[in-house]
Amino acid sequence: MNIRSTAAALILCLGAVSTVSAAESVNVYSYRQPFLIEPIIESFTKQTGIEVNTVFAKKGLVERLKSEGKNSPADLLLTSNFSNLQAAVAADVTQPVSSEILEANIPSEFRAPDGMWFGLTNRARLIVVSKDRMTQARPTRYEDLANPVYKGKICTRSAKHSYMVALTASVIAHSGSDTARDWLSGMKENLARKPQGNDRAQVKAISEGECDIAIINSYYMGAMLADKEQTAWANSVDLIFPNQADRGTHMNISGVALTKSAPNKDNAIKLMEFLTSAEAQQHYADVNHEYPVNQSVKPSALVQSWGEFTYDTLSLEQIAKFRNDASRMADEVNYDN
Ligand code: FE
């Protein structure tokens, strides 16, 4: 190498170093899985030059933020459901964000009024019924699941699980505690078996004839159809979008929050905004069969094939107020035992 090319290499190298040392980075703690998040992050880095360092974990990230306190390196918390966002706010490890882009891209019911959390994807909580055995008198509302005509036909997971707690909380928010308690205990009376397993396990139980009706998040249909061992489970049921004639189908979100400690706040907000862009939203929709929160983006072809539906527009913030009541109610009616 001659002197001139060495100097050129040195300048190139310094250039590269100065980009990095200017702290053009953002640190993410993610409950969402790598297969979903990594392609979006790579594209963000390519377009902005901002490096993203991600810690993936299934549990404990809110606790970790709390114990790290103001020294936490994390800028963003990505969650796969609303309850973890709420837990982060309750643990006082988030800070509010004001962004015209986020406000334009996310309907108001799917973000905190104070900017403490933002929904990124949506899922519908569906009723599924056996194609073969439920040819008549199908339920059309969540409330129908308490009707004695369905005695011995229903399978659900634990009423203490966050998806079920959120659904019960939404019934309380709309109809009050007394109505919700009657509903939950009526549904318990109709159970074919003790609550167990995850959402997919309920569909499996229908395919195996253990029960005829279940409640699941919409994206699991996509996941089961993509898994050779589970395709038959998915194909054994029809989907029902509940409460179309009244308040609409209950929705839940995955989302993001800016941490209180965020050392790279500006870059973090850029990444938050990117996550709501058409490109990122299309990726979430196509890879995980979730509904984009950005209403300008279409769901995957599979999800579109289920048709349009009315969803419950009561804000998640309002519904969340009743989560503790909902969880207690599950114990009061002895749902899981
Ligand atoms: Fe899930």
State the distance from the centre of ligand 1 to the C-alpha of 12, rounded, in angstroms: 46
Which tokens hold the place of 323?
Answer: 């989560």
Which tokens hold the place of 186?
Answer: 């009526």
The whole-angstrom separation of Cα 239 and Cα 302 is: 13
Using H for helix, E for strand and C for coil, what is the string for 236-266?
Answer: CEEEECCCCCCCCECEEEEEEEEECCCCCHH
The pLDDT value given to residue 212: 98
The whole-angstrom separation of Cα 207 and Cα 132 is: 10
State the distance from the centre of ligand 1 to the C-alpha of 151, rounded, in angstroms: 27
Place of tokens 């963003």: 76
The pLDDT value given to residue 15: 41
What contacts 24+ positions apart, CB below 8 Å, involve 266-270? 267/24, 267/25, 267/26, 267/48, 267/50, 267/75, 268/26, 268/75, 268/76, 269/97, 269/99, 270/26, 270/44, 270/48, 270/50
Q: Which CATH number fits domain 7-122+252-302: 1.20.1740.10, 3.40.1190.20, 3.40.190.10, 3.40.109.10?
A: 3.40.190.10
State the distance from the centre of ligand 1 to the C-alpha of 254, rounded, in angstroms: 9
State the distance from the centre of ligand 1 to the C-alpha of 234, rounded, in angstroms: 16
State the distance from the centre of ligand 1 to the C-alpha of 41, rounded, in angstroms: 21
Q: What is the mean pLDDT of the chain?
A: 93
The answer to whether residues 152 and 144 touch, using CB atoms and an 8 Å cutoff, is no
pLDDT at 17 over 70: no
State the distance from the centre of ligand 1 to the C-alpha of 90, rounded, in angstroms: 22
The pLDDT value given to residue 5: 45
pLDDT at 9 over 50: no
- The amino acid at residue 227 is D
The pLDDT value given to residue 23: 61
The answer to whether residues 54 and 41 touch, using CB atoms and an 8 Å cutoff, is yes
DSSP E strands in the chain: the ranges are: 25-30, 51-56, 76-79, 94-95, 118-130, 154-155, 213-217, 237-240, 251-259, 291-292
State the distance from the centre of ligand 1 to the C-alpha of 308, rounded, in angstroms: 21
State the distance from the centre of ligand 1 to the C-alpha of 252, rounded, in angstroms: 10
The whole-angstrom separation of Cα 281 and Cα 40 is: 9
State the distance from the centre of ligand 1 to the C-alpha of 166, rounded, in angstroms: 13
Assign 56 to helix, strand or coil: strand
State the distance from the centre of ligand 1 to the C-alpha of 132, rounded, in angstroms: 26
State the distance from the centre of ligand 1 to the C-alpha of 117, rounded, in angstroms: 19
CATH number for region 123-249+317-332: 3.40.190.10
The whole-angstrom separation of Cα 119 and Cα 56 is: 19
The whole-angstrom separation of Cα 313 and Cα 107 is: 9
pLDDT at 266 over 50: yes
State the distance from the centre of ligand 1 to the C-alpha of 317, rounded, in angstroms: 20
Averaged over 149-178, what is the pLDDT?
97
State the distance from the centre of ligand 1 to the C-alpha of 82, rounded, in angstroms: 11
State the distance from the centre of ligand 1 to the C-alpha of 301, rounded, in angstroms: 20
Find, among 37, 96, 89, the residue nearest to 65 by Cα: 89
pLDDT at 11 over 60: no
What burial letters (b/e) apply to 192-224, b meaning 16+ CB within 10 Å?
A: beebeeebbebbbbbbeeebbbbbbbbbbbbeb
Q: Give 60-106 pLDDT, tens digit per residue.
A: 999 999 999 999 999 999 999 898 999 999 999 999 999 999 999 99
Q: Within the chain, which residue ranges are assigned CATH 3.40.190.10?
A: 7-122+252-302, 123-249+317-332
User: 8 or 291: whose pLDDT is higher?
Assistant: 291
Is residue 178 exposed (0-12), middle (13-18) or buried (19+ Cβ within 10 Å)?
exposed
The whole-angstrom separation of Cα 218 and Cα 124 is: 5
Per cent of the chain over pLDDT 90 is: 92
State the distance from the centre of ligand 1 to the C-alpha of 48, rounded, in angstroms: 31
Averaged over 135-145, what is the pLDDT?
97
The answer to whether residues 289 and 219 touch, using CB atoms and an 8 Å cutoff, is yes
Averaged over 254-281, what is the pLDDT?
97
- 284 alpha carbon, distance to own chain's centre: 11
State the distance from the centre of ligand 1 to the C-alpha of 217, rounded, in angstroms: 7
The pLDDT value given to residue 18: 40
State the distance from the centre of ligand 1 to the C-alpha of 18, rounded, in angstroms: 41
State the distance from the centre of ligand 1 to the C-alpha of 159, rounded, in angstroms: 15
DSSP-derived secondary structure letter, 130: E
The whole-angstrom separation of Cα 33 and Cα 78 is: 10
Q: Give 184-235 pLDDT, tens digit per residue.
A: 999 999 999 999 999 999 999 999 999 999 999 999 999 999 999 999 999 9
The pLDDT value given to residue 299: 97
State the distance from the centre of ligand 1 to the C-alpha of 42, rounded, in angstroms: 24
State the distance from the centre of ligand 1 to the C-alpha of 17, rounded, in angstroms: 41
Measured from the Cβ of residue 274, the count of other Cβ atoms closer than 10 Å reads 18
Those residues whose C-beta lies under 8 Å from the C-beta of residue 144, and which sit 6 or more positions away, are 150
Averaged over 316-324, what is the pLDDT?
93
The whole-angstrom separation of Cα 285 and Cα 292 is: 6
